[in-house]
Amino acid sequence: MDRASHIDVDNAIGESQFWQQTLMFPSTSLIYCGSELIGAVLGTGRLVGENSLQLWISNPTTNNIPQFYSLNSQGEQARLLGKDTKQIVKIDR
């Protein structure tokens, strides 16, 4: 399986797909997907007033606490920039 062309939100795979979309739409601040199954979130975005993009991951591996990473020139996860302080809570229906 080609990791670059496959999106798997639950396992945080496919960040380069979100990176490409964010580059194509510079007025968009965040492009992401969420998983209803386990409450995972994966996406990329830019902070207001900044050009650099960040990767956003939240899933059971991160204890559902959002983590933010820099992206390399290929749109792949690089260095951990920070973590949120609150868990994303999955809502059961």
Using a cut of 0.85, tell me whether the model's pTM lies above it.
no
- 41-to-24, 47, 57 alpha-carbon distances in Å: 21, 18, 6
Domain interval for residue 43? 3-83
92 within some domain: no
**pLDDT above 60: residue 24:** yes
User: Rounded to whole angstroms, how far apart are CA atoms 84 and 49?
Assistant: 20
Total domains in the fold of the chain: 1
Residue 49: the pLDDT is: 76
Rounded average pLDDT over 17-27: 90
88, burial (CB in 10 Å: exposed 0-12, middle 13-18, buried 19+): middle
Q: For residue 42, tell me if it sits in a domain.
A: yes
Residue 64 lies in a domain: yes
The contacts found for 81-85 with CB under 8 angstroms, 24 or more apart, are: 81/54, 84/58
Q: pLDDT tens digits for 38-88?
A: 889 999 998 777 778 999 999 999 999 999 999 998 989 999 999 998 877
